[in-house]
Amino acid sequence: MDLVSEALGQALAATESLDGGEVADYIPELAEADRHRQALALVSVAGHDYAVGDADHEFTLQSVSKPFVYALAVDELGIDVVERSVGSEPSGEAFNAISLDPATGRPVNAMINAGAIMTTSLIEGSDTGERLERLLATLSAFAGRDLHIDEQVYASELETGDRNRALAYLMRSTNALRDNVDDVVNTYFRQCAVLVNAHDLAVMAATLANRGINPVTGTTVVGEAAARCTLAQMASAGMYDQAGAWLLKVGMPAKSGVSGGIAAVDPGQFGVGVFSPALDEHGTSVRGGAILRTLSEEYGLHLLAHAPSTGRRDLEVTVRRDSTVLLLPPEIDFAVAEQLSHLAGRLIEQDLTAPTSVIIDLAQVSTVRRSGARLLRATVDQLQLAMGSSLQIHDPTAVLH
């Protein structure tokens, strides 16, 4: 077995003693879930996939559908338009909390049910059928395969969905929601009843990790801005009333669902899908949460702990008799670009142009982070302006183009 799978297997094994939690039982289909079944899958931004446990076992998306439909809405309409209808604030409340702005009826965020129903209503479509088709097509593109609705689960959701209908009517009563309630709630129930497995969740999460591009199929599902906004919503509100503790302890944007699935993202690295149906009092998979916390702690995946563990290489300056060589390190982030800019300022002040030359050596650069790109280019431009032909740039891999 490969090492990543081994690591996943260890994480799964480490939580097997967790017997707590209850399988959701508000509809028979969920109540029948086998609480001992579990799965964990990881898909990297290179498109490699790993899985342990019953990774082919299908379950319904439920609330895990919310961030992906939100990504579609933001992609179609832009975040500013979406924000007019759905807020971005964590509520500190449960998934089915009312949490509507008392004056406008706007739900506080897109991860609670009210906000998710509103988000579904924002998806364009000339009629309910077309909207559903586009929703399903997008969820399928996220997963990289055609997904289908579990019609029996949908039928059961319809029967027990009074609270969601209530939320929709509350939003309609202030004109926050403009659609027919039955239409939008039924579409929402259908998106919740889409069947996936843990591997699918990992691909879907990896697509968000990979700036909206499915790393397995290469398809651009949503744009980078929509992916980033979605990760922000997952980070601040994805875990409902434990969102703050999750960001503190696990530090991965994530979304859970009552069928026992969780999708989690390490931005720029990979997506994870986990499945285990016994839920805690917040409606989150007990083992699923524990597995992700274990992975985060063991592998240092915390969003706010991505500092290098080994010494970064700084800019190296070699002053020779007739030239000063500025050797740039492999990764250019804001900190490195800032060092170069800092040095350039001093070189210009010292008027080192005349007898000597300055060589900027970019040969080792492999990565230019967005946070460093603009400052790097501006610094090079500034030096060129000041030094003219005395500046030489060694850029064999065309980093500056």
Distance in angstroms (rounded) separating the CA atoms of residues 201 and 288: 13
Please give the residues from 121 up to 160 whose contact with a copy of itself meets the rule CB under 8 A.
none
Q: How big is the chain by its Cα radius of gyration, in Å?
A: 25
Residues 375, 386, 387, 391: which binds a copy of itself (CB under 8 A)? 375
Whether residue 43 contacts residue 216, with contact meaning beta carbons closer than 8 Å, is answered with: yes
- Per CB under 8 A, 106 contacts a copy of itself: no
- Binding residue for a copy of itself, selected from 91, 119, 187, 285, defined by CB under 8 A: 91
Q: How many residues bind a copy of itself (CB under 8 A)?
A: 98
Distance in angstroms (rounded) separating the CA atoms of residues 334 and 369: 8
β-strand 323-327 against 357-361: which pairing, if any?
parallel
Q: To the nearest whole angstrom, how small is the minimum distance from the Cβ of residue 78 to a copy of itself?
A: 13
Under rule CB under 8 A, residue 297 binds a copy of itself: no
Residue nearer to a copy of itself on the CB measure, 26 or 133:
26
- 127 burial type by CB count under 10 A (0-12 exposed, 13-18 middle, 19+ buried): exposed
Q: Is 3 in the site for a copy of itself (CB under 8 A)?
A: yes
Instruction: Kindly state whether residue 368 participates in binding a copy of itself, applying the rule CB under 8 A.
Output: yes
Decide if 258 is catalytic.
Answer: yes
Identify which range of 51-59, 79-87, 191-199, 351-359 contacts a copy of itself by CB under 8 A.
79-87
Q: Which of 69, 71, 45, 46 is nearest to 227 (CA)?
A: 71
Other Cβ atoms closer than 10 A to 108: 22
| Residue span binding a copy of itself (CB under 8 A) among the ranges 52-60, 85-93, 123-131, 275-283 | 85-93
| Spatial contact of 72 and 138, defined as CB atoms under 8 Å apart | yes
Q: Which of 181, 203, 250, 258 is catalytic?
A: 258
Q: Which stretch binds a copy of itself (CB under 8 A): 15-23, 45-53, 144-152, 386-394?
A: 45-53
Q: Which of 44, 50, 64, 66 is catalytic?
A: 66
Q: How far apart are CA 261 and CA 325, in angstroms?
A: 54
Largest CA distance in the chain: 84
Answer for which of 134, 220, 302, 356 binds a copy of itself (CB under 8 A) is: 302
Q: How far is the CB of 16 from a copy of itself (least distance, A)?
A: 22
CA distance 374 to 358: 21
Task: Return the number of the residue (171 or 279) whose C-beta is nearest a copy of itself.
Answer: 171
The candidate with the shortest Cα–Cα distance to 179, out of 138, 136, 120, is: 120
Least distance from a copy of itself to the Cβ atom of residue 122, Å:
16
Q: Tell me which residues are annotated as active site.
A: 63, 66, 188, 240, 258
